[in-house]
Each structure stands twice: as structure tokens, then as C-alpha cells.
Amino acid sequence: STVEKQKEKEEETKAQTRKKGYDKDTFLKLFVAQLKYQDPMEPMKNEQYMTQMSQFTSTEQITNMASSFEKFTKVFEEKGSFNKKIDDFLKEFQNTNKALLDRIASLENEIKKLKA
């Protein structure tokens, strides 16, 4: 089903993200470890700290955008599937009830003529 396919895609994307090293949790763990084990006699300079914090923020924003895009894609695909089902239903209804629909259209035309 579409939901199962979407879950598979999400898991695959997460696995690829982790494989590429773009996981924000991994980034944060590395950053904390770096702070924990830095030389107290030569601590990290403010510029380095700010650079790494901005990299973390950028990584987090990119991850959030990717997640939002995945959700948008899922909704778009589900809506497309739903619209196709409605179109199929309407076509089947029209084919099944063609004689009835033609008669209704004919009666509507007769009523319009009587009103005129």
C-alpha cells in the first residue's frame, strides 16, 4: 500500500542520512565530546565555537527541511491517489447510469423550455 511504501522510503532516507554523517544527533555528540575532552590550557576559541554552533544549526535546519519535504511529498502522493479513486468512481457511475443521466438532462431541458 501507499502508506507502507512511504514508511519504507522514510526508513531508507534516514539510513542514507546516517550513512552520510548528516545526523544532527551524531553532530551534537561529537561537539559535546570535543568540549569535554578539550585541553583546559588551550580551550576552544570563540570563533571555533561559534562556527561549530552555526554548523550545528545549519545541519538541524537542513534535517528539518528534509523531514518537512518528506511529509509534503507523502500528503501530495496520498491526495493524488485519492483524486484518482474519485475520478474512477465518477467514470464508473457515469458509465453505469448513463441512461438515467441522459433522462435527467432531457427532463432539465424540458423544464427550461416550459419556463421560457
Domain boundaries, the chain: 2-115
**Would you state the torsion angle of the CA atoms of residues 73, 79, 80, 82, taken in this order, to the nearest 10 degrees?**
150
- Reported as a pLDDT band with limits 50, 70 and 90, residue 2 is low
pLDDT in tens, 85-102: 888 888 888 888 888 888
Q: What is the pTM of this model?
A: 0.41
Above 80 in pLDDT, residue 33? yes
Name every residue whose Cβ is closer than 8 Å to that of residue 78 and which is 6 or more positions away in sequence. Answer: 2
Q: In whole angstroms, what is the distance from residue 21 CA to residue 10 CA? A: 17
